[in-house]
Amino acid sequence: LMMGVTLGVAIIFNGVTINVLQRTREMAVMRAIGLGDFALVNMISLENFIIGVVGVIGGIPLGEWVARLFMEASQRGAEDVFSIVLTILPRSYIIAVVVALVVLLISQIPALLQVYRQNLATVTKEWSE
């Protein structure tokens, strides 16, 4: 379980970081034309949150389907020896959704800090070259 959680956190962290850092020029231009830091953070957070919600909406049914496939595969040929019933409690879904979205929001902090620290003149100069 912890291996899966760790892998999920790493994937979310890398995805969010790459999403933010690949758009540093765009964000620098927005800051240069007067978009405030708070508005920029809100825009990035909302975008990442929407991506996370779409991922959760697709991931929950897919995860349940994969769990059922694993259960069926593990019981093939062993029906007469033992039987296991797959039970996923509703609170498990709630916990998974909350943890995924919290990790997503926390994961964007390092990338946003780097965006704040960037020198607008340097970024726009690199862009023009």
pLDDT at 47 over 80: yes
- Which tokens belong to 21? 């850092």
Other CB atoms closer than 10 Å to residue 28's CB: what's the count? 20
Q: Give the pLDDT confidence of 95-123 residue by residue, as tens digits.
A: 989 988 888 888 888 888 877 787 777 77
Query: Number of folded domains in the chain?
Result: 1
- The pLDDT > 70 percentage for the chain reads 91
> pTM for the whole thing?
0.74
Distances (CA, A) of 40 to 15, 28, 31, 82: 18, 10, 8, 56
